[in-house]
Structure 1
Amino acid sequence: MGSFLNVVIYRVPRGRSLLYPPSRCPICLTRLKPRDNIPILGWLFLRGQCRYCHAPISWRYPAIELLTALLYVLIVAVSGWQGQTLVLWLLSAWLLALALIDLDTMTLPHPLTKWGLITGLLARGLTTGLGGITEGIIAAVIGIWLFDLIRWGGAIAFNQEVMGGGDGKLAAMIGAWLGWQGLLVTFFLACALGGLMGGFGIALGWIQRRQPIPFGPFLAVAAIFSGLFGRQLIHLYLETFLPGVFVP
């Protein structure tokens, strides 16, 4: 899966097919053999160079493969083997691709968010039935409206764009997968994480005030965390601030 995500991250922003041409060196265009495409190990065996033209191969490729593997292991460790595990695997892969594309290009491609939303509704339908699909649709609407309100309000208050249009579509996709409760947990976690990282970045001089930074990666990390621990966080919050409130 991590190897496939590398293809998605590289080709989707460039408008290229995910199926054709097969994997090849971007420098000499030589088609890679199966032994060159072994996740992580292939890069190590080749010592980070193309077998044919010896052009350097970015360390990012095996890093994404390793990150995907570790993420999948974490999901199994937390949720065990069940239907929801497969859902979280697929969601986390989708989010990882979108997060890294946003870091690279400051965009969240519409085809990925659109099909991610549709796939999320189908996944909810398979795991929770028609009621789950209905909740997913409501959560998707809440997500895009919430972020559009922030976008419009920020533009009025600061006289500049404070959020890209793709963030609302990503929020709608997350709502389709996690429902409205998971969406709200994701929203608050992403805002907290983004504010914290932005504050550190400004304090350390890494970024300038009002410098655009991609919000998609914060949403992606928060959504994965919400998918794994969202219900526990909701119960903890209610027990702390609203004791006696029952959450099914």
Structure 2
Amino acid sequence: MFLLGTAVGSFLNVVIYRIPNGRSLLYPPSRCPACLTSLRAYDNIPILGWLLLRGQCRYCHAPISWRYPAIELLVGLLFVVIFAVSGWQWQTLKMWLLTAWLLALAFIDLDTMMLPHPLTQWGLVAGLIIQGLLAGGWLPALVSISHGIIAAALGIWLFDLIRWGGAIAFGQEVMGGGDGKLAAMIGAWLGWQGLLVTFFIAALLGGSVGGLGIALGWIQRRQPIPFGPFLAIAAIIAALFGADLIQFYVDTFLPGVSIP
């Protein structure tokens, strides 16, 4: 599971670097961005290749960012955690794919303050398709896809309301348009319950990090910060533990109430 995750992480590094630049994911093959020399297969071994090269190009000795093996390590560990929580079932494959998609978007948002429309759009479509495939039968599939569409619409409406309300209250944009599209994608994968859990966790994380950054002088007031990474982290948590978190909330604040 770990090796599979690191291989996926290696591919995500390509996605994160090339998609914002409008470049093909398939051509040209991996090469050094400094000297443009094509890399050998053993240079591309996840994590190990970077360690063997000591963090620099074999040919021109230009430094290779530590973030490449860090992302590979992160995805490998997350794949192991997901497998440990869910075991071997189709839902595990779904969560692996969702996690990879979310991480690509999160790192692109960190780098560019943008969430590429093709990734959120096709992520939404993929979520609806997978929900239908895992439903078991054409009628449950239709119901599942319908619920995913409703959740996607809820995600867009919710974030549009926040954007409009923030613009009126503060006189400036408080959230980018891509965040609503990412929320719609998350709704398509996790349903409206998972979307709401994601929203509350993301708001808590974003508010805490933003407040701490302002207090420490790292962030200026009204300085824009990417919200996509918080949504991605929150969605992964919701995918893994959303049902348990909802049950905990009901047991704590709404005792005696049953949830479907």
Residue aligning to 1:95: 102
Give the letter for the 2:93 counterpart. L
Equivalent runs, 1:150-165 vs 2, <5 Å: 150-165=162-177
User: 2:78 aligned with 1:71, yes or no?
Assistant: yes
Residue aligning to 2:201: 189
**Structure 1 unaligned residues grouped into runs of 5+:** none
**Structure 2 unaligned residues grouped into runs of 5+:** 1-7, 136-140
SS class of match (2:88): coil
Residue aligning to 2:24: 17
How far apart in 2 are the matches of 1:150 and 1:223? 19
What TM-score do you get using the length of structure 1 for normalisation?
Answer: 0.99
Q: How many pairs were matched up?
A: 248
Residue aligning to 2:138: none
Give the letter for the 1:67 counterpart. L
Of 46, 58, 76, which residue of structure 1 is paired with 2:53? 46
Q: Shift in Å at residue 14 of structure 1?
A: 0.6
SS class of match (2:134): helix
User: 2:156 aligned with 1:149, yes or no?
Assistant: no
How far apart in 1 are the matches of 2:48 and 2:252? 48
Equivalent runs, 1:195-234 vs 2, <5 Å: 195-234=207-246
What TM-score do you get using the length of structure 2 for normalisation?
Answer: 0.94
How far apart in 1 are the matches of 2:19 and 2:150? 28
Residue aligning to 2:130: 123
CA-atom RMSD in angstroms: 0.6
Residue aligning to 1:179: 191
Q: Shift in Å at residue 176 of structure 1?
A: 0.2
Residue aligning to 1:57: 64
Of 133, 146, 171, which residue of structure 1 is paired with 2:145? 133
Give the letter for the 1:160 counterpart. Q
Identity %: 78
How far apart in 2 are the matches of 1:41 and 1:105? 28
Q: Shift in Å at residue 243 of structure 1?
A: 1.6
Of 217, 240, 250, which residue of structure 2 is paired with 1:238? 250
SS class of match (2:257): coil
